[in-house]
Amino acid sequence: MKIGDVARRTGVAPRLVRYYEQQGLLVADRAANGYRTYSDVDVERVSRVAGMVRAGIPTRLIKVLLDLEVASASEAPACPRTVAEMLADELVGIEDKIACLTRSRDTIRDVLTRTEHAALLSEAAAGATPSAGR
């Protein structure tokens, strides 16, 4: 599939798909005409990378994480000390973000539960988008 197809399927702009490739996060095959071609595996990878970027993980670390996932599939994955230190530092930041998001979620849930808008919680859980102006 072409880059526009990947963009439509993932919601990631074509320029970001190209950027992911420049950063070594994605490797596209090339057709005879030079156009990039992608597979369903590439679509999954673009979605995963985009999710990590949205979560605030820097692309330099995303590359390390993706490489480690591949390496961990082997019986004896290796992790240099410098990478381990970077991962440990990033883990602290991720834990802080999770704690902040958890507090925010709990506050939102508490407010909605205690108001006449409690039904919005079950709609949101069911995948419905709450309408504006309710």
pLDDT in tens, 32-65: 998 899 999 999 999 999 999 998 888 888 998 8
Task: Quickly list DSSP for 78-119.
Answer: ---HHHHHHHHHHHHHHHHHHHHHHHHHHHHHHHHHTSTTTH
- Is the entire prediction scored with pTM above 0.75? no
- Place 103 in a pLDDT band, splitting at 50, 70 and 90: very high
**In this model, does residue 130 exceed pLDDT 60?**
no
Please report, for the chain, how many H helices and E strands are present, in that order. Answer: 6, 2
Per-residue pLDDT, 93: 86
H helix or E strand, kind and range, residue 61: helix 59-72
